[in-house]
Chains A and B, each alone.
Chain A
Amino acid sequence: MAIRVNPKLIDELETYGAADVQNCYHCGNCSATCPFSKEPFVIPRRSMRNLQMGLEEKLKGTFEPWLCYYCGECSQQCPRGAEPGETMMSLRRWLTSRYDLTGISRLFYRSWKAELAALILVSLVTMVAFLVMGFSLGHGSLGVYAGAGALFPDHLVHILDLALAGLLAAVLLTNAIRMWWLTTGRNRNLHISLWSYVKNVFLLPYHFLFQARYSQCEKKLPWLTHLAIFLSWVTMEVLVILLLERFHSPETVWAAHVFGYLATIGLLGGTIYAMVGRVRKRETHYKHTHPTDWMFLILIAGAAFTGIVQHASYRWLGLDSVANIAYLIHMMFVVPLLAVQIPFSKLSHLAYRPLAMYLATVHTDALASQQAGAAQTEPVRLAA
């Protein structure tokens, strides 16, 4: 098969945030330093090489960028300032736009104005939808927050919840299938047994929930921050989808509330920590910030903050009308976050990361059984 070279690949990747890729002179320092770099997936130098040579198809078919958690060791030690860590980050953005068939993701990553416009548009649509729902369908009044006659009745909100969840799941699933096809399905040289797919399937929820691989980085704080934001977010989703009525019921459900408080602290603390880090730029992984990173953090922090206002004014102050307004603004943060960032932007990695870990294990199994005895999967150790 002929190999097609795209000489402008680096230029293209620069629009996704990469810089200084051409500085690399292939000393291999980054791969040897990387705590994740294990045979057969040697990151990040191999991707730097493929990028310099413009091997677009090869890059499209690799999930190696998803194995990097950007601890920054490689960029710190790079003798040429080629920023391999940031290159991997940009490659993840680029891959996201390859998995997304609509082309929207590509547009958002290359133009932050487009993404911002989309976020604002979705936000405004949400506002109109909620106002229409509240004042015409629900026959509610501004002064009632919960129970019968509430402005935004729970059963109607629920329908919207589920509709959005179904839509997102469908989009993510097609993208994930495309990722599988590009990296695995179309590779005729790789023979993967069904049993391998089945026995490793537990890795998907495992990596999804705990980001276990991230914890192997030398520095633990970035992983803990990520875990705090992620688990808090999952907790909130569960509470909202399963327990929304209880939340809004006049009597206090302590179990739900304790989790809710913890999750709010996690979200707010995590995002503030990340924002401060991105402003101070002390750590390597916070040195380069893409506009999508800011949008993500601002949306999460906004959602957490309006959630607190809404809770405080309903529970503690008894101001139902304020709570309703805060609820509306809350939804204007949450819906864009879910509807724009999950399928088309930064948040989509919640699907690709675990899938990449899963596929990496499956690939390693297949390679090991294919070359049983012939090649080592461990680093070479020569006897002295």
Chain B
Amino acid sequence: MFAYIIRRLIATVPVMGVVALFVFSLLYIAPGDPAAVIAGDLATAEDIARIHAKLGLDESFLLRFGHWLWGVLHGDLGVSIFTNLPVAQLIGQRLEPTVALTLTTLAVTVAFAVPLGVIAAWKAGSWIDRLVMLVAVLGFSLPSFVLAYLLVLGFSVELPLLPVQGYVSIREGFAPFIAHLILPSIALGLIYGALIARITRASMLEVLSQDYIRTAEAKGLAQGEVLIRHALKNAAVPIATVIGIGVALLISGVIVTETVFAIPGIGRLTVDAILRRDYPIIQGVILLFSAAYVLVNLAVDISYTLLDPRVRY
């Protein structure tokens, strides 16, 4: 197993290499001249040329890529064009809110979606099943920012129960931390939860039709035990897979949710950077997200060994 992990980690290197190449190419083929931006709106053509040379923008593609990659491997993700601050520092400042939001959303959605999927499968064909599936399909179809605005309107404005915007670190108190994250988690998690509920239901249905379930029921085991101990455990592998894939959905959703709720996380940093064409930040963030995604998938694969004893690496 340890060897498997090492092998997998090594295998991610070429993948990350491709990502790095792609991300760097973004800057290279992008229109607009970062030197012009840095020089400011009152600059002359000579100023721009001078900054061009200073930034090394005249060197060949491979040379620039090499420099950049070398820096990345040393933790230097470059410097933001607009604020002159190191990208690594900017990302570091914004990491906590995004991680908090993502984890909370993950926890809440899995906590709700998996049981709902189980119940729907158990009562397959009944009104509960149809209701859950209907809500799931609706959840899948509603754009997250529309949902976000509706939630704010309902729970922060009409009924002032929850804060409108912002993020409070857990160090400043657990209650405000959670209060600020409830609405964003719901807005972010609904699509994700819908997907998980559907797959849970599908997977459970497949398992529930198996002979060993009938045996367990015939033996007189309580429904709960049958469902959870026998069925869910065996249905868990596809569910875990979809949780892993869903992380990509979460990352995409984080961008919009952070904008609407003014949460100072990486999602908003990314959008601002992309719109302003602040390429060093864009590069750094995409690298980060990709690395996170790759690691999450690795974690999911490892979880297979926990969930399914037949899987051995």
Tell me whether A and B are bound partners. Answer: no
